[in-house]
Amino acid sequence: MKRDFKKDLRGSLKGFISFNEYLSAHTTFKIGGRPRVWVEPDSIEDLRSALEIFGRIKLKTFLIGNGSNVLARDGRLNRAVIKLSTPPFKNLIFGKGHIICGCGHTLPGLIRKCIDRGLAGLEGLAGIPGSVGGAIMTNAGGIGMRSILDTVEWIKVMDYKQRKVSSIKKKRLRYNYRDSDLSKYVILEAKILLKKEAPDAIGERYDRFLRQKLATQDYRLPSAGCIFKNPKESGLTSGQILEKCRLKGLKIGDAEVSRRHANFIVNKRKAKFKDVMSLIKLEQRLVKRNFGIWLEPEIEIVK
């Protein structure tokens, strides 16, 4: 990286800048190498400046939330990583039947605050450790709810190319199972529609959903959650299909298909990117051979 680029970045941005961050410290998989630069903007203008600089030098940008569904390559990554973790991206306004929430909030923290104020609708996302922005981008879903984008009224975004801020109403959104058309934007905040209900009732439901997930999914070791989307053409989940292929416990290096939930790959100790990718590819081939289905990854793979 050119020296003048670093000076330009430091001279233009007020937020945190690092050239020595490792994604392994910022992902739940505990895997990932060192990007060219790590930036945590302290304002929308800071974010705009960062995107302008990265666009000018043609450095590919990766936006990270809580890193809960990310598998990143080891070694040096020719990427600029942006994390919207500062207060301007964590604003939170409560209404009678809605919230306006910044993208930088964690889902668990937001859900707890909604429960305290008697706002129901997000408790089905219990157990997902991601950020609000990440959940919206990937259209996360949970128990008793189809997807988070079903609850959204509008989303405020900044587009990567022109770096303009605009609001997208729900009727303009295009989304389906674990997918959206928001990849050309940085999500800034969203208005989420919720329902008033007694906090005790919401909290009891949330606790029940969380116990159910903890009992069936594997959170004991580092992972990225479910690896594959559930296939549309099958009445079975990816986990059920993988279990029928008897893949639980299959291991490459320190990466292992969870013995508790077949759609989880866990990092037993010091798993490498190549170990996890080898398992993913092997699972895809075996499922294709046995079921005629090609499993699509649900996680984001950063190379």
C-alpha 8/C-alpha 53 separation (Å) is 8
pLDDT recorded at residue 234: 84
Six token digits for residue 225:
């959650």
C-alpha 179/C-alpha 187 separation (Å) is 14
Does this model's pTM top 0.85? My answer is yes
Coil, helix or strand for 118?
coil
Local structure of residue 297 (DSSP, 8 states)? B
pLDDT recorded at residue 1: 47
C-alpha 193/C-alpha 173 separation (Å) is 16
pLDDT recorded at residue 53: 95
Q: Yes or no: say if 27 and 273 are a contact pair by the CB < 8 Å rule.
A: no
Q: Yes or no: say if 192 and 151 are a contact pair by the CB < 8 Å rule.
A: yes
pLDDT recorded at residue 80: 97
- 206-240 pLDDT per residue, tens: 999 999 999 989 989 999 999 999 998 888 999 99
Residue 80 CA, distance from chain mean position: 17
Question: Which is nearest to 210 in space by CA: 99, 58, 108?
Answer: 108
What's the angle, vertex CA 108, arms to CA 238 and CA 179, rounded to 5?
40
Q: Which long-range contacts (CB under 8 A, 24 or more apart) does 207-210 make?
A: 207/126, 209/123, 209/124, 209/126, 209/127, 209/142, 209/143, 209/144, 210/126, 210/127
pLDDT recorded at residue 170: 92
Q: Yes or no: say if 78 and 60 are a contact pair by the CB < 8 Å rule.
A: yes
Six token digits for residue 86:
């500062």
For the chain, residues with pLDDT lower than 50 are: 1-2
pLDDT recorded at residue 235: 87
pLDDT recorded at residue 248: 97
Q: Which residues contact 128 (CB under 8 A, 6 or more apart)?
A: 68, 107, 108, 135, 140, 142, 225
C-alpha 260/C-alpha 56 separation (Å) is 47
Residue whose token pair is 């903890």: 214
Q: Yes or no: say if 33 and 77 are a contact pair by the CB < 8 Å rule.
A: yes
